[in-house]
């Protein structure tokens, strides 16, 4: 999916939840604020603060930018950060409310005008120990409410104060301590941070995401080590904590964005055979908080596929893609998503355009599928009047492109008429027996629609299906004559 997670929208979502929290006092809105601040908001900001991302997605590369040219998010991102103190610690009719656990000092005024200072000491979310010192200007009875994180299985709280009467109760996601507070009274909290696994559904079927306390984690190409340089080769070892064995450790210098920064080694599997590493082999991968993922320009991924790729999977999934012209749409033809697409539009005419996918090593396939991207008034399809678009393949890096087949069921389009082609429509090319390919492309004449001064084509997906080419028993594969 392209163009999701715009930072302006993230900040609007913060404003909306802050407003709902103010109106209702319900902890779920504060929970959402913490989730968004620690993950999506800081995930959109470059770790040194010098840039912001426009669309910050669950996988890909962080699109940090430091210039305001058409970049609305560069103004709204900092606005989001500036909002944090307005909801982190607040007051209500009963007293003081702690929603977020950032280290710092707050100067508050109770409804009757009494000044109360609050000092929070913690290295959260490095760990869950939080110390809150309450400093009212004078001895005063009021409530201190502390949000109890929903993800915490065994929250602990201790009130360290000289006086006699503490009334502690839990309501609606908050612990409320009512007492006569004196300068220096302290509350110690322990919200033990633990890993959690979210098993994907719908578009994330067959994938898992790992969280640690309030943090969403991601795999980062910068931390795959020498054996695996590509995220494509990685899958999660299972859907439960026992299989994944998440264990935090201090972050190496290369990704240490703050003194408490951590990485989270998890058990993983080689998804595809790469070099000496066979599909299914065990390995360990260090995950990082989403806020730090891709900080140095590397690719990252929150949803990790499960287990090695199966023979029924699209073998081009996650492979390297390229096209004849860069175009002006930021989609992908290898994400198994028919809604995200790319185009070759550059406002110029062209006699031929292509969309290609290149693998790490040759794979045997017997079915290739091209999915049309989108039909626009000024093009986006292949003009089939002089021949249907064709599938070409390369057997190795040095081999020349050769034609596998034309897409016979592609409609009889012309330069100006898309013949009813719809976005995401798929056209398959079936082979009588598997063929080994290293790269595949679809080639055709781009259409111009109502603007003959230019022409372009589009592509939503290029997929191929067949058998993995790594096992010895497939060595008798026949190459069809074409």
Binding positions for Zn ion, rule: CB under 5 A = 6, 8, 72-73
Q: How far is the CB of 191 from Zn ion (least distance, A)?
A: 33
Q: How far is the CB of 7 from Zn ion (least distance, A)?
A: 6
Q: How far is the CB of 11 from Zn ion (least distance, A)?
A: 9
The 3-class secondary structure across the chain, one letter per residue, is CCCCCEHHHHHHHHHHHHHHHHHHCCHHHHHHHHHHHHHHHHHHECCCCCCEECECCCEECCCEECCCCCCCHHHHHHHHHHHHHHHHEEEECCEEEECCCCCEEEEEECCCCCEEEEEEEECCCCCCEEEEEEEECCCEEEEEEEECCCCCCCCEEEEECCCCCCEEEEECCEEEEEEEECCCEEEEEECCCCEEEEECCHHHCCEEEEEECCEEEEEEHHHCCCCCCCHHHEEECCCCHHHHCCCCEECCHHHCCCCCCEEEEEEEEECCCECCECCCCEEEEEEEECCCCCCCCCCEECCEEECCCCCCCCCCCCCEEEECCCCCCCCCCCCCCCCCCEECCCCCCCCCEEEEEEEEEEEEEEEEEEEECCCECCEECECCCCCCCEEEEECCCCCCCEEEEECCCCCCCCCCCCCCCCCCCEEEEEEEEEEEEEEEEEEECEECCCCCCCCEEEEEEEEEEEECCCCHHHCCCCCCCC
Nearer to Zn ion, 73 or 279 (CB): 73
Nearer to Zn ion, 7 or 344 (CB): 7
Q: How far is the CB of 43 from Zn ion (least distance, A)?
A: 15
Nearer to Zn ion, 6 or 321 (CB): 6
Nearer to Zn ion, 41 or 369 (CB): 41
The residue whose Cβ lies closest to Zn ion is 8
Q: How far is the CB of 60 from Zn ion (least distance, A)?
A: 17
Q: How far is the CB of 300 from Zn ion (least distance, A)?
A: 21
Nearer to Zn ion, 58 or 306 (CB): 58
Nearer to Zn ion, 73 or 268 (CB): 73
Nearer to Zn ion, 135 or 330 (CB): 330
Q: How far is the CB of 76 from Zn ion (least distance, A)?
A: 6
């Amino acid at each position: 999916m392209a163009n999701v997670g715009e930072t302006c929208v993230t900040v609007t979502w913060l404003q909306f939840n802050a407003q709902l929290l103010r109106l209702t006092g319900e902890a779920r809105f504060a929970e959402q604020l913490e989730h968004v601040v620690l993950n999506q908001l800081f995930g959109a900001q470059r770790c040194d603060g010098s840039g912001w991302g426009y669309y910050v997605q669950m996988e890909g590369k962080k699109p940090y930018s430091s210039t305001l040219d058409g970049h609305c998010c560069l103004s709204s991102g900092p606005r989001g950060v500036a909002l944090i103190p307005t909801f982190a610690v607040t007051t209500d009719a009963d007293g003081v409310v702690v929603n977020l656990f950032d280290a710092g000092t707050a100067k508050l005024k109770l409804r009757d005008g009494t000044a109360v200072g609050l000092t929070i000491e913690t290295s959260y979310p490095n760990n869950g120990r939080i110390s809150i010192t309450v400093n009212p200007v004078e001895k005063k009875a009021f409530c201190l409410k502390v949000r109890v994180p929903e993800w915490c299985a065994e929250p602990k709280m201790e009130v360290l104060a000289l006086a006699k009467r503490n009334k502690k109760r839990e309501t609606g996601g908050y612990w409320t301590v009512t007492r006569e507070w004196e300068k220096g009274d302290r509350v110690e909290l322990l919200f033990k941070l633990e890993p959690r696994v979210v098993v994907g559904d719908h578009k994330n079927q067959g994938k898992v995401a790992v969280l640690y306390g309030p943090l969403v984690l991601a795999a980062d190409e910068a931390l795959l080590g020498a054996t695996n340089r590509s995220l494509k080769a990685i899958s999660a070892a299972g859907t439960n904590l026992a299989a994944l064995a998440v264990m935090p450790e201090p972050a190496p210098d290369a990704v240490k964005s703050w003194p408490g920064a951590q990485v989270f080694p998890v058990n993983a599997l080689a998804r595809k055979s790469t070099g000496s590493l066979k599909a299914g082999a065990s390995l360990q991968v260090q995950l990082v908080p989403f806020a730090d993922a891709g900080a140095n320009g590397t690719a990252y991924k929150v949803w990790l596929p499960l287990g090695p790729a199966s023979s029924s999977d699209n073998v081009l999934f996650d492979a390297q893609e390229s096209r004849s012209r860069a175009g002006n749409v930021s989609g992908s033809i290898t994400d198994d998503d028919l809604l995200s697409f790319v185009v070759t539009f550059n406002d110029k005419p062209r006699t031929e355009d292509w969309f290609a996918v290149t693998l790490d090593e040759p794979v045997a396939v017997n079915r290739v599928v091209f999915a049309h991207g989108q039909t626009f008034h000024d093009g986006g399809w292949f003009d089939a009047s002089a021949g249907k678009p064709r599938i070409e393949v390369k057997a190795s890096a040095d081999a020349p492109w050769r034609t596998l087949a034309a897409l016979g069921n592609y409609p009889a389009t012309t330069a100006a008429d898309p013949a009813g082609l719809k976005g995401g429509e798929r056209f398959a090319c079936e082979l009588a027996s598997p063929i080994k390919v290293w790269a595949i492309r679809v080639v055709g004449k781009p259409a111009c629609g109502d603007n003959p001064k230019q022409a372009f084509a589009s592509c939503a997906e290029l997929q191929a299906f067949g058998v993995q080419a790594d096992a010895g028993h497939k060595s008798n594969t026949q190459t069809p004559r074409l």
